[in-house]
């Protein structure tokens, strides 16, 4: 664990110099100290908390990548203020017109209250100890034959569970399955429109920036797409007869059953076979694009989620195993992972998996907890027990190579600009004011600190 940060001029200069020389503890200190201050500063220019978090995460990722090119700065605080302002301006250029920054940022000076300036002091050694280890990966190659890649989590622990995965992985800003159809509640993803290939290239090309990032694990390309076991029925019943998706499904079915076959002739075997076929039209394209623009990192799939659909579909896992290095899964609707189900995922795909979302909500948080897939528990300590029990089951599987709590911070329930599905619920490990949920975090840290001992014990 890194030592307390000393911001006297000489010590601050020494810490900055140490970071530039590649000292990870010094970098952790900088991040832990300045994250809350920069978050407050970012609100001078934008009310969008997620936008500010993303900007800070990208700023620190770039600082680490470019550290060998950095020189001495007379004021670390002012350097970070200016860098964040420029980062937000660049990112704002890619946002819709109605999302422009709220102030003229040529005015650099900012006034922070004494309380805000002392926020860093509230991040004590004990609290940083609670933050660290929140996200843990299992031992490299644990229990399997895959190429070892998973390592002890980065020491900058507050970053590894922050909004939108920070530098741990990247997602596109909108669904890559660009022509998802919603007809009378009958949603399914379809990827046959002619513009899809060009869109994949355009959306994934920016990841080339991260090819040399040694702290990046990999990429997932979407989130919880509506893959359906009865996709064949939906394509033939709900798409127009001139639409590419209909034509592709009709051609596939004609080849399999003959041109006289209709909806009544579709069997469960047909549905299973088509689900793999249409999923492959998506994953082979996005996986190829990921490897084209960044051959140095892993492709983590597209975050499966639906318990009775893709999570129980051997054909989709078989196809995923052909193209993904690791299969990402958002895990909800169960108090703990089921060993037989996890064994199926590995047997069907031949690949390890990573849990990319899971959480419970504490009723003692003061939030209404009306939204989200995670279940409610009474206290933060109960959240900690849930964390421990859940992750022990993951370690038992021998096929899980990591886990990631849903989000770092609760949203401000009074901020109406936040995503309604996340606005009023206790999903984070700190509240909207960065106050940690210590009982939960202590339990998580206790488990994570003993991950390797648990692996050794469970493997006996």
* 172 and 295 both lie in a single domain: yes
* 128 and 86 both lie in a single domain: no
Share of the chain above pLDDT 90, in %: 46
How far, in Å, CA of 152 to CA of 25, rounded? 15
pLDDT confidence bin for 451, thresholds 50/70/90: very high
Q: What is the pLDDT of residues 92-144, one digit of tens each?
A: 765 554 444 544 333 333 333 333 333 333 333 333 333 333 333 333 233 33
* 96 and 149 both lie in a single domain: no
* 177 and 318 both lie in a single domain: yes
How far, in Å, CA of 148 to CA of 141, rounded? 5
CATH number, residue 246: 3.20.20.80
Structural domain range at position 104: 1-121
b/e code 141-162 from CB counts within 10 Å (16+ = b): ebbbebeebbeebbbbbbbbbb
* 115 and 155 both lie in a single domain: no
> Which residues contact residue 113 at a Cβ distance below 8 angstroms, ignoring those fewer than 6 apart?
none
* 40 and 172 both lie in a single domain: no
| pTM check: above 0.85 | no
* 172 and 182 both lie in a single domain: yes
Task: Examine the fold and report which residue of 121, 153, 186 is the final residue of a domain before the chain moves on.
Answer: 121
Task: Examine the fold and report which residue of 96, 121, 146 is the final residue of a domain before the chain moves on.
Answer: 121
Q: What is the pLDDT of residues 374-385, one digit of tens each?
A: 999 999 999 999
Most confident of 75-89, 138-152, 250-264: 250-264
**Domains contained in the chain, number:** 2
What local confidence, expressed as pLDDT, does residue 169 receive?
35
> What integer is the mean pLDDT of 388-395?
96
Q: Tell how strand 353-357 and strand 327-330 pair up.
A: parallel
Q: What is the pLDDT of residues 4-16, one digit of tens each?
A: 444 555 777 888 8
How far, in Å, CA of 35 to CA of 41, rounded? 10
* 306 and 384 both lie in a single domain: yes
What local confidence, expressed as pLDDT, does residue 78 receive?
87
Q: For all residues of the chain together, what is the average pLDDT? A: 79
* 148 and 203 both lie in a single domain: yes
* 41 and 190 both lie in a single domain: no
What local confidence, expressed as pLDDT, does residue 8 receive?
59
Task: Examine the fold and report which residue of 121, 146, 179 is the final residue of a domain before the chain moves on.
Answer: 121
* 292 and 395 both lie in a single domain: yes
Lowest-confidence region among 34-48, 305-319, 427-441 = 34-48
Q: What is the pLDDT of residues 289-298, one digit of tens each?
A: 999 999 999 9
């Amino acid at each position: 664990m890194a030592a307390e940060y000393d911001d006297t001029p000489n010590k601050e200069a020494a810490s900055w110099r140490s970071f530039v020389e590649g000292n990870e503890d010094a970098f952790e200190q900088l991040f832990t100290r300045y994250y809350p201050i920069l978050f407050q500063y970012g609100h001078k220019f934008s009310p969008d908390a997620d936008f500010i978090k993303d900007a800070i995460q990208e700023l620190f990722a770039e600082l680490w990548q470019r550290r060998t090119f950095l020189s001495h700065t007379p004021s670390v605080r002012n350097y970070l203020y200016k860098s964040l302002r420029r980062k937000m301006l660049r990112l704002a250029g890619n946002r819709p017109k109605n999302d422009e920054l709220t102030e003229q940022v040529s005015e650099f000076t900012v006034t922070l209250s004494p309380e805000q300036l002392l926020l860093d002091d509230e991040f004590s050694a004990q609290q940083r100890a609670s933050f660290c280890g929140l996200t843990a990966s299992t031992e490299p190659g644990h229990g399997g034959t895959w190429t070892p890649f998973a390592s002890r989590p980065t020491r900058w622990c507050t970053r590894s569970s922050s909004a939108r995965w920070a530098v741990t992985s990247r997602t596109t800003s909108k669904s890559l399955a660009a022509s998802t159809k919603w007809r009378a509640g009958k949603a399914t993803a379809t990827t046959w429109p002619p513009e899809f290939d060009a869109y994949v290239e355009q959306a994934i090309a920016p990841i080339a920036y991260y090819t040399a990032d040694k702290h990046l694990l990999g990429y997932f390309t979407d989130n919880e797409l509506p893959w359906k076991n009865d996709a064949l029925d939906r394509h033939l019943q709900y798409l127009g007869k001139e639409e590419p998706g209909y034509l592709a499904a009709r051609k596939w079915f004609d080849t399999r059953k003959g041109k006289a076959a209709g909806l009544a002739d579709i069997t469960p075997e047909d549905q299973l076979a088509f689900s793999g076929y249409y999923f492959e039209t998506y994953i082979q394209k996005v996986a190829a694009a990921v490897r084209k623009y960044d051959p140095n990192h892993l492709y983590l799939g597209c975050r499966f989620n639906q318990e009775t659909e893709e999570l129980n579909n051997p054909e989709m896992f078989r196809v995923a195993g052909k193209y993904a290095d690791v299969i990402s899964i958002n895990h909800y609707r169960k108090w703990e992972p089921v060993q037989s189900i996890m064994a199926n995922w590995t047997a069907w795909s031949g690949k390890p998996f990573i849990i990319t979302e899971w959480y419970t909500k504490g009723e003692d948080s003061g939030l209404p907890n009306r939204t989200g897939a995670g279940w409610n528990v009474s206290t933060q300590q109960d959240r900690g027990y849930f964390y421990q029990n859940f992750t022990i089951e993951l370690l038992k599987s021998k096929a899980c190579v990591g886990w990631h709590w849903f989000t770092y911070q609760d949203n401000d329930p009074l901020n109406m600009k936040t995503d309604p599905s996340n606005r009023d619920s206790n999903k984070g490990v700190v509240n909207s004011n960065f106050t940690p949920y210590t009982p939960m975090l202590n339990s998580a840290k206790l488990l994570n600190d003993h991950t390797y001992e648990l692996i050794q014990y469970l493997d006996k």
